[in-house]
Structure 1
């Protein structure tokens, strides 16, 4: 079994320490870090995503596997940065104003990173103006908003309006997710994409920027 298979298997068997160890081994063997990322870490998370989609595993397992990916990324990131490796795209992510839910949003962030996106995580209770400033500062491909309770859905609309009023709407795609959110509603309020769960969010993001 190759070390890339070892990395992949360490993710789907939930062993972060092994993921880190095998990523270092792969580097020591002279394997290109971009190959380690795509054929090791991302390949492992792709299996996890498929299992999650089929309800063969659940959120706790996905969170553990995402920790594996982060353990590997800790080894690879400095080298990828030095080599100026190009991510699939850049996503600014946050939970909208007055919503303090964090776990689901962080799970999506981990899945985005595992799929090869650069993620700027703004946290929770994010003001519309902060999303606007993040677009100006980071120039992302996608703004991804999370709204986990019905009472904060108006904050999504307010944020989209703020982006439009700032003249930035044409610069980004807008995704929204969360328990009370539907695809029809997202499109109705002027958004571009929707993910009913973390795996679907990754698929939607890829489609929005044309890399699906």
Structure 2
């Protein structure tokens, strides 16, 4: 683990928002790879999530760490990543959103950022995305992959409903569909007819490249 990754991890685990921002700004000024910084934030957030699951962290700490990470990603990393992403040809178009009834944004945003830095064009539909919105986006855009996030077990059925709606509209064969989120499993993905499942941002990038038959470089 690099020194920067250690500092990012420490900042998030101690909920030190200012240290996280300063570490990111300093690293970018030194010319460090923004994608590596994003990966470090993703790894640190996974550890925060583990601490929440074990009861070591409470909801307020989980949300605080997530909001700090979101601020750094949107205000400091994305502008740099956008410049990098605009230099080359897009590998494909990804429509990504958190399903209806679910307003969790952090995990989805990290996945979107990682896919963007990997060379994909991102249509970020936001949170609480209805089945109709997913369908409309596929109809109106040159979408290659629909990525659906669900952080609540009660909203999992919306992933199934969206896939069924794509079938009814004769759109399912036109796009690949991947799913993710805390309650999502590989078994669930297979059950609802998704093309794949990823439980973190790095895996999502590998999965999308695999299902679109894009070779790793």
Common fold by TM > 0.5? yes
2:84–2:117: 8 Å Cα contact kept in structure 1?
no
**Structure 1 residue 76, shift from structure 2 partner:** 5.0
TM-aligned CA distance change 1:203 to 1:193, over 3 Å? same
**Structure 1 residue 48, shift from structure 2 partner:** 3.7
Count of residue pairs the alignment pairs up? 181
* Alignment match of 2:79 (pick from 63, 68, 71): 71
* Alignment match of 2:28 (pick from 16, 19, 23): 19
SS of match in other structure, 2:194: coil
Q: Is the counterpart of residue 146 in structure 1 residue 149 in structure 2? A: yes
**Structure 1 residue 46, shift from structure 2 partner:** 8.1
TM-aligned CA distance change 1:56 to 1:209, over 3 Å? same
Structural RMSD (CA): 3.3
Q: Deviations over 1:108-146 (max 9, x none)?
A: 111111222111110111111110110122221110000
TM-aligned CA distance change 1:135 to 1:125, over 3 Å? same
Counting only pairs closer than 5 Å after superposition, residues 68-107 of structure 1 correspond to structure 2 as 68-76=76-84, 80=86, 85-107=88-110
**Structure 1 residue 167, shift from structure 2 partner:** 0.5
2:38–2:114: 8 Å Cα contact kept in structure 1?
no
TM-aligned CA distance change 1:16 to 1:138, over 3 Å? farther
1:93–1:122: 8 Å Cα contact kept in structure 2?
yes
